[in-house]
Amino acid sequence: GAVVSQHPSRVICKSGTSVKIECRSLDFQATTMFWYRQFPKQSLMLMATSNEGSKATYEQGVEKDKFLINHASLTLSTLTVTSAHPEDSSFYICSARWAGENEKLFFGSGTQLSVL
């Protein structure tokens, strides 16, 4: 099966700083990646759809200027949380769809962000 690597797994930062999270498809090319956010005891909420070589598509209520997404290559998408605040503390997970198994999404291992 396909492997999606996400880094870092855990970040603790001060309020006001920016945090970058990387998501890589290790053995396949992913033209589309998805970024989710999960608060404790809540469901995964889709934040944005990241398309290689074009602008990301953001879900309603997600600030595109705060959550910057870059998908510069077929194997890498990054999510930057700019000027992070405590309310941004959450579990962020990326996923990618592999054409080889069309019905599946493969998830990264997630990033636990804690903003102090």
Partner 1 sequence: GQNIDQPTEMTATEGAIVQINCTYQTSGFNGLFWYQQHAGEAPTFLSYNVLDGLEEKGRFSSFLSRSKGYSYLLLKELQMKDSASYLCAEGSGAGSYQLTFGKGTKLSVIP
Cβ 74 to partner 1 shortest distance, Å: 16
- For partner 1, which is the closer residue by CB, 81 or 108? 108
**Which of 28, 34, 35, 67 is the binder for partner 1 (CB under 8 A)?**
34
- Unique residue bearing structure tokens 């999960």: 38
**How far is CA 52 from each of CA 13, 49, 68, 69, 110, rounded to the nearest angstrom?**
29, 10, 14, 10, 20
- For partner 1, which is the closer residue by CB, 44 or 62? 44
In angstroms, the CA 60 to CA 71 distance is: 20
Residues that bind partner 1 (CB under 8 A): 6, 32, 34, 36, 41-46, 49, 91, 93, 97, 103-110, 112
